[in-house]
Structure 1
Amino acid sequence: MGFQIYPLDSLKEVVRLAGGLGPDKRLDAASQSRAILALQRFGERLRSFSPDRVRAVATNTLRIAKNGQEFLRTAEAALGFPIEIIAGREEARLIYSGVAQSLPRDGKKRLVIDIGGGSTEFVIGRDDVPEVLESVYVGCVRFSRDYFPGGAIGRPAMKAAILAAREEIQVIRKAFVSAGWDEVIGSSGTAKAISEVIEANGLGADGITAEALDALVGRLVRAGRIEDAGLAGLKPDRIPVFAGGLAIMSAIFEELGVIRMHHGEGALRLGVLYDLVGRTQHEDMRRISVEQAMRRYAIDIAQSQRISLFAINLWKRLKIGSDEEREQLEQHLLWAACLHEIGVSISHNSFHKHSAYIVTHADLPGFSRREQQAVAMLVLGQRGKLSKIQLQLVSPAQRAAVMCFRLACLLYRRRLDLELPEIDLSGGPTRFRLEISGPWLEAHPLTVFGLQHEAAEWAKCGIDLQLHPVQEGGVSARRSAAGA
């Protein structure tokens, strides 16, 4: 990437949020409390950082927790920064990015596996480029809790845990085995802990092998409990989740036919840091994802550029919201303009609904779930009734951004460059004045009809949008007077 990250300080607390996820898929109060207290302490350390220098992400547990959004609001308040829930494949991409930084660029095809607390990520890639990415719902915290309660390890329980993990992994087996790999890298705590235990107990000296895993499983089963197995090299904080992680690792070796795995440095945290720095170094993965989607769905680039330039031009005239919110919404307008017609590939009828669905659910590397939802809201609101997005318009700035986007889509509906010498949008947050060249409006009665209908639609939301024809030079003259 052309830059290197060096740690100056670090702070780590073990929370294991996945352990608080009950059968009803709700986080219990104890796990939430542990997480909030940890985030408050992190927030104290980060208090002096500007928001564009901090990125916090949440993974599998908050992806599936039914009360995840409720918890997220409290968590963000405790940390003092936004927390992004990222999709499984996005987590896999970031993990691979972090691991790749510590490995040589030698063109080897690598399978990177990261066993987390609630999910396990699998990636095949070369150098910095991931090629096959998947996230599977098997994690060391959940498996340790479900199959080895109280730390008891019996042969039937270990067999059941391995079979359960294999059942989940078999879904991705064909794609990964057919892609192939030259070497296997295990990242994060489980792979590191297993590798250290194998070496410290004389079960192997060159990474993790199937034979070493079998020997380790046998030793735990015979002991009945990890504490009684006399394992050298096992750190105390790994004891509660070691058996579950070992079962998953054994299942991976059996199901994918892995022969040997080496532990690799770097993982999700480092990947997030490189992704964050990349956004300021003209290597924003979100931009790359949008461009790839535009090519894949053969989106009309010229029309997207017309819409984005016009909508952002109107948006910059309005001074609504904080600087941070304004900058964020400008970025959302750009992405929405690029992707607003992506649903045409399904059907022209109600294409905006198809577009919004695709933007919401597509794998867009670099995007958080919240970002995709925000862009999808703009895409859905590009035309038609505003009632379908009204509940999502929680701030005056969001409403103004939607107005700018809808006006751009309306005025460029003919898909031609406009010769529009005079236009201005002012006011807010509940009263807006749209000034357009009078002679131009007289020559475009269909557009006038559309603008009148647009004003009526905003009136249903309690927003007054007034259309004012002006004579040539009227807008620019008023701007000059205001500037004076």
Structure 2
Amino acid sequence: MRISSIDIGSNAIRQVIIEIDMNGTWTVLKKHREPIRLGHDVFLYRKITPPTEQRLVLAFKRMARLMKKFKVDKSIALATSAFRDAQNKRPLLTKIKQTSGIKIEVISGTEEARLIRQAVKHNTCLNDKHCLLIDIGGGSVELTHVHSNRIYFSRSFRWGMVRTLAEAAVQNKTPQVICKENLKKASRFLPKRQFELAVGTGGNLDAIGKLKLTLLKKGPNTLVSASELKIIYKRFMKMSPQDRLTKLDLKPDRLDVIEPALFLTLQLLKKYKIKRIKIPCVGLKEGAIYSLLNSHS
């Protein structure tokens, strides 16, 4: 069986097409990314503007062609924070369905956190530890406390990195100040205990793993200690914008959001006295596949 899963985020749109054999083994056939920053429009203007709408329609036509090329049997497309907030989402969802055949489901932050948890559950051994799952997206941040396959806390916060950059520009503050203010405002809603381990998901955390390889010249990119993260952040902040562009193995639309993402991750590890963070390189689109399979089992 072949499945296409599309994650329509606030910073970019990501598609993965996989094949599952009789034993349940996954083979990735195609990964595709559309660098469309929906959050830039929505977090500033509360809607998706006509130029971005045109790019979206063309992007989904391309993804539909990929689905046809790889003879996909089942598909799922999930939209998160930017689409949740867009005032003009309904006619746009209809237009995309009519022009590409792809039906998009706009999910809540709670459902987003649940699906991310599904991806982590199937790909990461937590060794019965009290674990904090951290997903840092463009529009929202999901925090989940997990222990022994039980969820004790899960909440979605409007702290995404594209949103943070927009708020910083409007308020004439640094993104780091916005991150600190968000944590302080939400302190009464956050878990009060310490954690033995963190697991980071999403494009920003995957990028932090890449920065370990590039800036520290060592692996693995799937495990970063708190002390390593401090060094990564310091070295990143010392680099000029041009050096970041030419010397780091990051996409251009990741270079601005990774700065507050590094800072927020550091703040969370410090707050909860977490010594290391696992980065399994999975997220919403993989969790959506597990959910789709469970619904048809």
TM range (shorter): 0.7 to 0.9
Question: In the aligned structure 1, how far is the partner of 2:89 from the partner of 2:65?
Answer: 23
- Number of the residue aligned with 2:93: 72
Question: In the aligned structure 1, how far is the partner of 2:235 from the partner of 2:242?
Answer: 12
CA RMSD of aligned residues (A): 3.1
- Number of the residue aligned with 2:278: 262
Deviation at 1:6, TM superposition (A): 0.3
- Number of the residue aligned with 2:249: 234
- Number of the residue aligned with 2:205: 191
Deviation at 1:62, TM superposition (A): 0.8
Question: In the alignment, is the contact (CA less than 8 A) between 1:99 and 1:265 conserved in 2?
Answer: no
Q: Which amino acid aligns with 1:99?
A: V
1:245 to 244, 256, 261: 261
| TM-score under structure 2 length normalisation | 0.77
Across the two proteins, how many residue pairs are aligned to each other? 269
Indicate yes or no: 2:48 matched with 1:32.
no
Structure with larger Rg: 1
Question: In the alignment, is the contact (CA less than 8 A) between 1:138 and 1:248 conserved in 2?
Answer: no
Question: In the alignment, is the contact (CA less than 8 A) between 1:144 and 1:243 conserved in 2?
Answer: no
Higher fraction of helix: 1
Deviation at 1:30, TM superposition (A): 2.7
1:114 to 128, 132, 135: 135
| Equivalences for residues 239-388 of structure 1 within 5 A | 239-281=255-297
Secondary structure of the corresponding residue to residue 135 of structure 2: strand
Q: Which amino acid aligns with 1:6?
A: W
Secondary structure of the corresponding residue to residue 30 of structure 2: coil
Give a deviation string over 1:175-218, Cα, whole Å, max 9, x none. Answer: 55335432101112211211221342228767434444444444
Secondary structure of the corresponding residue to residue 208 of structure 2: helix
> Which stretches of structure 1, 4 residues or longer, exceed 6 Å deviation after superposition?
none
- Number of the residue aligned with 1:139: 160
Question: In the aligned structure 2, how far is the partner of 1:201 from the partner of 1:105?
Answer: 27
Deviation at 1:127, TM superposition (A): 5.1
Tell me: higher relative CO, structure 1 or 2? Use CA pairs within 8 A at least 6 residues apart. 2
Question: In the aligned structure 2, how far is the partner of 1:11 from the partner of 1:199?
Answer: 22
Deviation at 1:17, TM superposition (A): 1.8
CA 1:247–1:203 in 2, change beyond 3 Å: closer, same or farther? Answer: farther
Question: In the alignment, is the contact (CA less than 8 A) between 2:81 and 2:139 conserved in 1?
Answer: yes
Question: In the aligned structure 1, how far is the partner of 2:28 from the partner of 2:229?
Answer: 36
Structure 1 unmatched ranges of 5 or more: 150-155, 282-484
Secondary structure of the corresponding residue to residue 10 of structure 1: strand
Indicate yes or no: 2:69 matched with 1:16.
no
Question: In the alignment, is the contact (CA less than 8 A) between 1:184 and 1:262 conserved in 2?
Answer: yes
Give a deviation string over 1:351-404, Cα, whole Å, max 9, x none. Answer: xxxxxxxxxxxxxxxxxxxxxxxxxxxxxxxxxxxxxxxxxxxxxxxxxxxxxx
Secondary structure of the corresponding residue to residue 132 of structure 1: strand
Deviation at 1:21, TM superposition (A): 2.1
Higher fraction of strand: 2
| TM-score under structure 1 length normalisation | 0.49
